[in-house]
Amino acid sequence: MSGPPGVGKTTWIRNYLQRHPDPVFYKVAGSDSLPIDAVHLSREFPQVTPILNEEELSQSSSSPLLVEVPWQVNPAALYPTLEHLDPTWIGIVPSAQADTEVYLWADELIEGRMVNETLPSPHLWQAGLTGQVLDPASLEAFWFELIRGAYGQIYRVKGIFEMPEGDAIYGEYTAGFQLTDLEDFDILRGSRHLDGRPNRFSGVEILGKDLETNILKDTLQDCCLSDQALWAYHQQVNVAVAKGVFAA
């Protein structure tokens, strides 16, 4: 399936997975995007196996395969790669009045959220954060400034962040919809990581215009905890876990 940023592609996938508990493979096709959606979905739905490279694609033949095509990739360009799977091509459109000429590749059109299909001068900025743990107050301030345009005009942002309490959280925002903060983030399923730096994936992806990428990079780096600060956090949380205040 494909559609503009924020229209509801991942929401459609989530609804599908809630109705179908059997094993399924998931892939983001034709893109160098960070695997944010793949990790988020596989942590939320145990039946999901992410496919992160083309070699793994052949292993998915025994179960359904959900392929999400990013906004910047023309679905028609993927026909040679995916046609042997006899796929059903689904377009997630912002309204029933969407320009059907744009979706000639689709076998089926599904109405999603009302978003702007035309993004002037889009710029995609990504930052891998695997191994980094963020200070919650600093992340909250960064997110507040980010979605309000302090680092450039924002169209869409989503990210997975490691917290010092040992949890990983997922947050997102789409321009034109309700502003979000850390209280709105999802805590991802999985055990707490309280032994040094985690090696599971985390990262953030920002789609916008006139992004101040150097300032973004520096500000995000300032949110990351030092080894000493992380150790102190983990000591406190381990005591709380031992006392039963936090779940392990």
The pair of three-digit structure tokens given for residue 49, joined into one six-digit string: 């196996």
Range of lowest pLDDT (43-47, 67-71, 142-146, 204-208): 67-71
- Phi-psi bin for 131: left (phi > 0), alpha (psi -120 to 50), beta? left
Mean pLDDT, residues 8-20 taken together: 94
CATH class as words, domain 123-242: alpha beta
**HSE value, Cβ hemisphere, 13 Å, CA-based, for 178:** 4
- Per-domain boundaries in the chain: 9-111, 123-242
Contact 193, 230 (CB under 8 A): no
Q: Is the predicted pLDDT of residue 60 greater than 70, yes or no? A: no
pLDDT in tens, 212-245: 999 999 999 999 999 999 999 999 999 988 888 8
Pairing mode of beta strands 65-68, 24-28: parallel
The confidence score (pLDDT) of residue 121 equals 82
User: What pTM was estimated for this model as a whole?
Assistant: 0.91
Model pLDDT, residue 54: 63
What CA–CA distance (Å, rounded) separates 236 from 79? 53
**Structure confidence at residue 88 (pLDDT):** 94
Q: What is the pLDDT of residues 150-179, one digit of tens each?
A: 999 999 999 999 999 999 999 999 998 999
Sequential DSSP letters for 67-85: EEBPTTS-GGGGHHHHGGG
pLDDT at 196 over 60: yes
In this prediction, residue 120 carries a pLDDT of: 80
Please compute the mean of the pLDDT values over residues 20-45 and round it to a whole number: 88
Under DSSP, the state recorded for 104 is T
pLDDT band at 61 (very low <50, low <70, confident <90, very high): low
Q: What is the pLDDT of residue 241?
A: 86
Average pLDDT over residues 183-191: 93
Cα torsion through 121, 104, 65, 41, rounded to 10: 40
More confident position, 27 or 121 = 27
pLDDT reading at 71 higher than 90: no
Q: Which pLDDT score, from 0 to 100, does residue 171 have?
A: 97
Per-residue pLDDT reduced to its tens digit, 89-122 = 999 988 765 666 678 889 999 999 888 767 788 9
Work out the pLDDT band at 84, boundaries 50, 70, 90.
confident
- For residue 184, pLDDT over 60 is answered with yes
Conformation bin of residue 71: beta by default, left when phi > 0, alpha when psi is -120 to 50:
alpha
State which of 32-46, 48-62, 85-99 shows the largest mean pLDDT: 32-46
